[in-house]
Amino acid sequence: MNLKLDHMIHYINQLQTFKYPGELLRIYDGGKHEKLGTFNRLVYLDNAYIELLDVYNAEILRKITKSEEGRVSFPSKIIQDNFAQGLKTVAFQTDDLDLVKQQLIAKDVDVVGPVNMHRVDEKGNKIHWRLLYIADPDYRVKPPFFIQWEEPLAVRNKKLAPFQQQEFTVKQIRIDSTERAVTVQKWQTWFDMEIIDDTETYTSLKLPNDTIVYEIYDGQVSKYHTVILKDEKATSSYSLIIRGIRYRFDAD
């Protein structure tokens, strides 16, 4: 599928006034998803970005989550979690969303999309992309979804380079699952992930064409638990609990 991590979605209430402790990570203004009643701000890292997401019109979001598309949409987990803050899901980028859809259908995986999306940035410009969702009613952890940007990735990456904090690189994402074996099996099927480690308490997976490791742990509650970043400027590792998610920064 030639997938890579594109971004993570961290829901934060009262996002307009949010800052990371010590302003460790720089935040840039994003824009509104008028179709969903949400808006975002963005944190660009070396190999991905964090989408900080908030809701400006809860009624729009509640209404759309009752539709087939809205039920699986990226902000639907905010409603499902009763507006609890935290990391809700992640997006995998692809340069051929239609091919990904064909491959999933060939595996008898139900999908929704592609869905045409856009947001309006602070200058009034529209940014366009397409999304594809896995429509699995039995998931324990909200599945990652797929994104294809309107611009070629090389052009987009060049535009984003001035905003990237290249000293921070995403290394791992820890996920807790009440049924680890089920989550692992589904992620292998959906994303062609390979197992690189398997212990009594967790299973490590990775995409064939990406370096980021996804550690699926046994947990009492299914959720995205920890984002692990490499901090090239740190002399020792440290962790911060920030609005429902643990950020761990490794020195090496």
Same domain, 158 and 176: no
To the nearest whole percent, how much of the chain has pLDDT over 90?
83
Residues 106 and 11 in one domain: yes
**Pair 111, 204 in one domain:** no
Alpha helices by DSSP H, the chain:
58-64, 68-72, 76-80, 97-106, 153-160, 180-191
Which residues lie closer than 8 Å to 195 by C-beta, 6 or more apart? 184, 188, 203, 204, 205
Cβ atoms of 248 and 187 closer than 8 Å: no
Query: Alpha helix (H) ranges present in 45-140?
Result: 58-64, 68-72, 76-80, 97-106
Q: What is the CATH number of the domain that holds 239?
A: 2.60.40.4320
CA distance 35 to 105: 27
Residue 117 confidence class, pLDDT cut points 50, 70, 90: confident
* CATH code where residue 139 lies: 3.10.180.10
- Which domain does 116 fall in, by range? 4-162
Are 114 and 132 in contact by the 8 Å Cβ rule? The answer is: yes
Q: Which residues contact 138 (CB under 8 A, 6 or more apart)?
A: 182
Number of separate domains in the chain? 2
Q: How many residues does the chain have?
A: 252
Q: Using CA atoms, how far apart are residues 9 and 117, in angstroms rounded to an integer? A: 16
Confidence tier at 189 by pLDDT (50, 70, 90): very high
Q: Are 49 and 144 in the same domain?
A: yes
Q: 138, 162, 186: which is the final residue of a domain?
A: 162
Least confident of 14-28, 124-138, 194-208: 124-138
Last residue of a domain, one of 111, 146, 162: 162
Average pLDDT estimate for 75-83: 93
pLDDT > 90? residue 120: no
